[in-house]
Amino acid sequence: MNKILSKQISSLTIPEKLELIADVWDSIIIDDTQVPLTKYQKQELGRRLASYDNIKNTGLSWEEVKQRIMENNV
């Protein structure tokens, strides 16, 4: 980073720096194809997606939850 930009950033207040960080992050998200994933990251994302797809527990209905609460069986 050049010295002029570094100096400008250091003169910002904390809220201004946080806003700058958010703006930079947003600009990265806009073109996420430029952010390469490692082989490990791709494998981990695949593993997590497969795990999510295999979730069999869909939860309880509101009536079942309400009944458990009423019975103090939470």
> What is the pTM assigned to this prediction?
0.44
Number of domains the chain contains: 1
Each residue of 17-62: pLDDT tens digit? 999 999 998 888 777 777 788 999 999 999 999 998 888 777 888 9
In angstroms, the Cα distances linking 11 to 1, 2, 19, 27 are: 15, 15, 14, 22
pLDDT given at position 33: 78
Q: What is the mean pLDDT of the chain?
A: 88
Task: State the average pLDDT over residues 1-13.
Answer: 89
> CA 67, CA 74: separation in Å to the nearest integer?
9
Cβ neighbors of 12 (< 8 A, separation 6 or more) are 20
Domain with 33, as residue range(s), is 3-70
